[in-house]
Amino acid sequence: MVVLIIVLKTIVAVLSVLLSLLILLHKGKGGGLSDMFGGGLTANAGTSGVAEKNLNRWTVGIAILWVLLIVSISLIAKTI
């Protein structure tokens, strides 16, 4: 069981970094932190609708997996 928890925590750590990167890839809507870090400079480049939809799907899917893994780690740790 301890090995399973270590593996799941490692996966959560990797997913956390990936989720952070995916969130930062989203197009800024202006007026927020995305403009401070150069989001306003790339506003003219834009992204296609399909790319933005796929990015949203990946972000939501990984976020759901991240939450499920955290809940499962908690339940496994509670039974030990």
Would you state the structure tokens that stand for residue 68, as one six-digit string? Answer: 């499920």
CA distance 50 to 3: 40
**Encoded amino acid at 34, one letter:** S
For the chain, residues with pLDDT lower than 70 are 29-47
pLDDT at 38: 63
pLDDT at 80: 85
What is the torsion angle, in degrees rounded to the nearest 10, for the CA atoms of residue 45, residue 23, residue 64 and residue 68? 160
Instruction: Give the rounded distance of the alpha carbon of 68 from its chain centre.
Output: 13
User: What predicted TM-score, i.e. pTM, was given to this entire model?
Assistant: 0.75
